Structure 1
Amino acid sequence: MRIVVGAALVREGRVLAARRTRPASAAGRWELPGGAVESGEDEAAALARELREELALADVAVGDRVGPEVTLSEGRVLRIRACRADGEPTALEHDALRWVGPDDLDDLDWLDADRAVLPALAALLDGGRGRGAT
């Protein structure tokens, strides 16, 4: 099983969403930033690396899992982790970034895998824990 990690990067009760540019089937849809865990990495290290590569965030704290594990294609699973980071994210691999509050989560055209964790994400943001990694 190959693990893909996504970041519920939370700041001031909002989560960062990133709009995909590729592949064509996903272009224009929103996701939580992240990527595959590479050989020798744990989930936290992979997520910190991905946020450096995708968002130019150097100081990332990775916290607890958020929501269910989501089965993807080709023997992969998606695991979302609560995160916090200092500094402003820069879209290096996406064409747009947006901070989204719990009442606006359903307004975005999320990738299906990310949509599966929206209820847990809304609970995280509504639960007063929306300040970042726990």
Structure 2
Amino acid sequence: MNPNPRQIVGAAIVDSLAQPTLLLAARRTAPEQFAGMWEFPGGKVDPGESDLQALHRELREELGVDVRLGSEIEAPTENGWPLNEHAVMRVWVAEVSQGTPAALQDHDLLRWMPLEDATQLGELGWIPADRPILDALLQALTVRR
């Protein structure tokens, strides 16, 4: 693993931080190897930005929404979830505070999926690096109930 991996941030957007029942999944349009696969929306942290500033910027650019953040999904490393040898991603649970999610950039389809149906969620065809994050999210939400 690169000693200084690229920091990526993402959001597991749910319908309610207090009583989550739905998760927003986003289908990628690029790059080619991930086109048509599902992911947590987000993106790269730019120089001079904090992780949270980048997350809010990315969600406005990609989905046209502002969010209220909940807890970070606990990752296996202090920098986040390994995506590949060059990048790691930190992911927060979030709910929309302003706007209606729309596929504005990097995605061609958004879908609200029921959290209680892990099988249906898993069958979406997630980007492989996002799948363990989905599993950790579902585990964390199960523990809370």
**Common fold, TM-score beyond 0.5?**
yes
TM-score by length of 2: 0.80
Mapped contact 1:18–1:31 kept (Cα < 8 A): yes
User: Does 83-92 or 119-128 show the bigger shift?
Assistant: 119-128
Total equivalences in the alignment? 128
Aligned pair partner of 1:63 in 57, 67, 70: 70
| Residue 40 of structure 2 is aligned to residue 32 of structure 1 | yes
Aligned pairs (5 A) from 1:9-88: 9-11=13-15, 12-57=20-65, 59-68=66-75, 69-86=80-97, 87-88=99-100
Mapped contact 1:78–1:113 kept (Cα < 8 A): no
Separation in structure 2 between the aligned mates of residue 98 and residue 52 of structure 1, nearest angstrom? 17
Q: Higher Cα Rg: structure 1 or 2?
A: 2
**Aligned CA-pair RMSD:** 1.7
Separation in structure 1 between the aligned mates of residue 136 and residue 21 of structure 2, nearest angstrom? 14
Displaced runs of 4+ in structure 1, greater than 2 A? 72-75, 123-129
Q: Which residue of 2 aligns with 1:132?
A: none
TM-score by length of 1: 0.86
Percent identical among aligned pairs is 47
The gaps in structure 2 that reach 5 residues or longer are none
Mapped contact 1:101–1:125 kept (Cα < 8 A): no
The one-letter code of the counterpart of 1:48 is H
C-alpha displacement of 1:8: 0.6
The alignment partner of 2:84 has SS state of coil
The alignment partner of 2:29 has SS state of coil
The gaps in structure 1 that reach 5 residues or longer are 130-134
Q: Which residue of 2 aligns with 1:5?
A: 9
Separation in structure 2 between the aligned mates of residue 123 and residue 56 of structure 1, nearest angstrom? 29
Larger relative CO (CA 8 A, sep 6+): 1 or 2?
A: 1
Q: Which residue of 2 aligns with 1:91?
A: 103
